Structure 1
Amino acid sequence: MELFKIDWAPLQLPLKRRLQTLAIAVDVCVSLSFIFLGYGVSYYLMFHTKLWWVFIIYVFWSIFIDTDRSSDRTSEWYRNCSWFKYSRDYFPVKLNRISEKELESNRNYLFCCFPHGLLSFGVKLGFTTNSEESRKYFPFHSIYTHTLPLNFYIPITRELTKSLSFVPTSKECLDRKMGKPGGGNISVLVVGGAEEVFHSNPGVHSIFLKNRKGFIKVALRNGCPLVPVYSFGENEVYGQYEFGEGSIMRKLQRMLKKLTGIALPIPKGRGLFQYSFGVLPYRRPINVVVGDPIDVQKTENPSQEQIDNLHQLFEQKMVELFESQKKYYLEDHETAHLEIY
């Protein structure tokens, strides 16, 4: 129904679709305002309730006692919450593994995911929640998703972050997870990071990999296989307002990214009850494709040549994954090619 040049959602929609939209709306609001949410709730508890003394104890504990940001505080109840199933089904997000060989239970694996997209729905809903596919494909591994260390210094929301098995992207944390004796860990890392956010638009298939070699060093130091992962459709769920590199808005975005590691795009999406504008993503499928593991020989002090050779091999495997799978997930597969920066 179109009214005042706005494309409105039908009045009669199944309850399931309404719940899916509500679930993704809450997810987006929390993702976009997690800093304000954490400190806002903290301010309220501190100055407007009788629980201020409990909050002071909590802050003291979180700053001076609970200093291990990479500790495992996964809540299986939270990861199994039906709320996340509604969020997954909104697009829907599907996890697909093309390798027929099972991952070895006595090894750790580093999943290197592309592209970032605006909010990384494929990674978040495919790996951080207990989806049917993740339990089926990786039954013998604990999955940890690496995110900005900033997330672990915000009161209240840091607990939700830890409950979903998020851990920092620091070198120490990656080495700890990938160096676990006896194996059994999967680290999920969005290698391109916030820089890919600026290039996230429908029809764009570009990733930032050329100068990203830190994950290569982690793999060599710990001897953990590298697994290429591509989320087909991640860039299709949002558009964004573009700003030239010399514009004031782009300079502000770059400054924020440099200070916090967070890119702040202005999304083009839909609304809660209409499809013409808003910050909610469009309902477009996201298929997270997990490629074949690349075996890595443990080298505690790798040379630059070893790092470059493995990086080149990974880049080659990433292109092969995209080219072999694009026909299943992209409408423009005949002309689509992966651009690597």
Structure 2
Amino acid sequence: MEPTVFRGTEYSFVPTTIALALWLGAIHFTAALTLTALILLPSPLAFAIFGLLVFFMAIPLNDKNKWGQKLARYICKYACGYFPITLHVEDIKAFDPNQAYVFGFEPHSVLPIGVVALANFTGFMPLPKIKVLASTAVAFLKARKGFVRIAIEMGRPLVPVFCFGQSNIYKWWKPNGKLYAHISRAIKFTPILFWGIFGSPIPYRHPMHVVVGRPIEFKKNTQPSVEEVDAIHGQFVAAFEELFEKHKASAGHPQLQLRLL
């Protein structure tokens, strides 16, 4: 069976850049504002800024808000066309709009931007709502089994997903050495410097191909054993590796090698 393919429309540079600036620039602006308040501003003004940020956290623009929906549609529409992003779904009929799924999306890279292809407002996948979660440490698939346990406990199918080209949309740098590795493990985060076009948060325009495998079904078990988690995790890893090898040539990366940690 040939995969179902969706491709982001290539719009002009201005609206697509605005969409990326609203989406990714907001993250950088919040981080810069927080650091500025902590380091440079007097305490009363810093507390006022933190209060404003908490206010926006408590009353956000979301998918139940008219303005939030308009903003989400704009970002999803033009973000997919910026690179552009192409979505390949191996068996789209295997997905039930009334069912919930656990998507295992790799690689995380600097930012997992390709996941926008799965968003509801993008209109590609036949699923009404998708939530994206990230672990405290990223890119260690063989040792990470918590998402498998959650899927088993909830009785929700696992879906392997790989994004080709995502590692090319930012340039980045990080220190080497054991001290840096120890610090990263201690804070459960790997600090890096990264940048896009002209040193901004706007990523470089490189095509991305997101491939979605078939759902892995299993019986619900609210108290799965270690052996059961290991077995289903092994199925997921095998399906993930097969998905990668099957699509890497058609995605434009025939020489790419997959290394799972």
Task: Select 2:130's aligned residue among 143, 156, 160.
Answer: 143
Q: Is the 8 A contact 2:84 2:205 kept in 1?
A: yes
Q: 1:133 to 1:36 in 2, by over 3 A?
A: same
SS in 1 for 2:163: strand
In structure 2, the partner of 1:195 is 138
Matched, 1:118 2:110: yes
Contact 1:116–1:194 (8 Å) recurs in 2 = no
Q: Give, in angstroms, the shift of residue 79 of structure 1.
A: 3.9
- Structure 2 residue 28 is the aligned partner of structure 1 residue 96: no
Give the one of 51, 68, 78 matched to 2:68.
78
Tell me which residue corresponds to 1:337: 257
* Corresponding residue for residue 146 of structure 2: 214
TM-score by length of 2: 0.76
Per-residue deviation, 1:251? 5.5
- Choose which of 210, 225, 228 in structure 1 pairs with 2:157: 225
Number of aligned pairs?
238
Counterpart AA for 1:91: F
1:296-317 Cα shifts (integer Å, max 9, x gaps):
2111211111111111111000
The alpha carbon displacement at 1:90 in A equals 1.4
Q: Which moved more, 1:72-81 or 1:25-34?
A: 72-81
Q: Which has the larger radius of gyration?
A: 1
Structure 2 letter corresponding to 1:98: E
Query: Is 2:127 the counterpart of 1:131?
Result: no
Task: Tell me, in whole angstroms, the C-alpha distance in 1 between the residues paired with 2:93 and 2:69.
Answer: 26
Instruction: Determine if contact 2:23/2:75 at 8 Å carries over to the other structure.
Output: no
Pick closer, same or farther for the CA change 1:195–1:300 going to 2, 3 Å: closer
Structure 1 residue runs of 5 or longer lacking an equivalent are 1-14, 67-71, 147-189, 197-207, 272-276
5+ residue gaps in structure 2? 1-10
For 2:227, the equivalent position in structure 1 comes to: 305
The 8 Å contact of residues 239 and 267 in structure 1, kept in 2 or not, is answered as yes
Question: Is the CA contact (8 Å cut-off) linking 1:96 and 1:133 kept in structure 2?
Answer: no
Deviation sequence 1:60-97 (CA, Å, 0-9, x none): x94xxx9xxxxx86446434432442232211123331
RMSD over aligned Cα, in angstroms? Answer: 3.4
Asked if 2 retains the 8 angstrom alpha-carbon contact of 1:95 and 1:288, the reply is yes
Residue 214 (structure 1) shift: 0.3
Matched residue SS, 2:244: helix
TM norm structure 1 = 0.60
Shift, 1:119, TM fit: 1.5
* 1:287 aligned counterpart, secondary structure: strand
Could you say what secondary structure the match of 1:88 adopts?
helix
Question: Quick one: distance in 2 between partners of 1:230 and 1:22?
Answer: 26
- Fraction of identical pairs, as percent: 27
Find the counterpart in structure 2 of residue 264 from structure 1.
191
